[in-house]
Structure 1
Amino acid sequence: MPRIRKATAVVLPVLAGSLLLAACASTGTAPAQPTPTGTNWLLMATGSVAPSPQASFSPRATFAAATLSPAPSVSPTPRASGSACGTTGFKGGQINGADVTAGSTSAVVTWFNPGGANLVGYHILAVSQKLVNGAQPETPGWVSVTPSGCGWMTGTVTGLTPGTPYVFSVDGQWLREGMDGTYTRTVARSGVVSTT
């Protein structure tokens, strides 16, 4: 019985391999591919080749005419505001310095007003620089100043505490062009100034 098992074990792989080779070597025809049905989804239209580009002007003649003709003279447009507008150290879009003259409970803040049609007003705020534990002292609040023309402006902040260091900030308020409302940005700020 052990011999029969060995013979059966050898015959099965040989038989399976020969069946596999016979299937690969058959010369039968391939099965028919199914024919698609329905309408074509890709349509192509025939056309013509685009013509070569043609120059419609002479670039050299246009350049020569442009360089030989005199340039129009441009005269500067005078500003309607005062003479101080163009002669100061004011830098637009930056925070400029503010000068402060402090008393014991008030301070006079001076800054440059560049003017402009959309400028609505200024707010001055005094921020205490005295460090205290616990609740912070009340600030004097905003002081509103209406701009007038172009030039140096002053505003007085009251309600300050004697002998206290402050930083004074000046914020401009502008109308938004084409929109409702206003926006503000700081235009001037002082260093630390102490009341007397």
Structure 2
Amino acid sequence: MAAPDSAPRGTFLRSAAPPPNGTFVRSTRTALLGALAALPLLLSGCDTSMITGKDGAADTVVAEGSASPEDSWILFEKGRAAATPKPSATAKPSPTPTPSFSPLPEDTVCAFDWLAGQVLLPVNTEVGAGSIRASWPRVGEPPPDSFRITAVPQDNVSGVQPELEWQTVTVTSGCSASGTITGLRPGRPYIVWVDAPESGYQLDGTPRPRSGRSGVVYPE
């Protein structure tokens, strides 16, 4: 069969020249098979897949949506919720020092067993030979200066009672007053009475304690 008129004599038809750099065009079937082979890797969620490059080295490909190397796993354990303990304070406040007060010197003359507001003044006594020495506090502001004292016999007397003999005691200083009653019968019971007619009145109008008495005493 003769060659076409357009071709020179002795010339054969060749296929198209191959692509440069020695790269061959793969068929459509080969490309489709490669895509199907890579599809399970993309759908499995694996972190990386190894694909051989042109130079034969292994390239690392990170699938889209997979965890990056910086991500870490978080583990959850089933259990009951517990309150976080609060840190306990270790520092304790220093105690406040208690102020100390020095006691005032005691005045033995004015040391009477008596409460404010008591109706009767307390009377202390000391017995002597046919006598009784009595002492009592001076109450008031200012305290009274004049008092009366007497010793009342405790013997039973039928008929008219004997008159009491009062004696005046004047005191202008100090917080107590004292006086001695003489002429008493030794060994007989007596009670000493104190009267303070000039004791005055308190702020609410009530009179200050103006009377006092002792217990039963027996002169020697």
Pick the TM interval, shorter chain. 0.3 to 0.5
Q: TM-score, normalised by structure 1?
A: 0.45
Q: Which has the larger strand fraction?
A: 1
Q: Which has the higher contact order (CA 8 A, sep 6+)?
A: 1
CA radius of gyration, larger in? 2
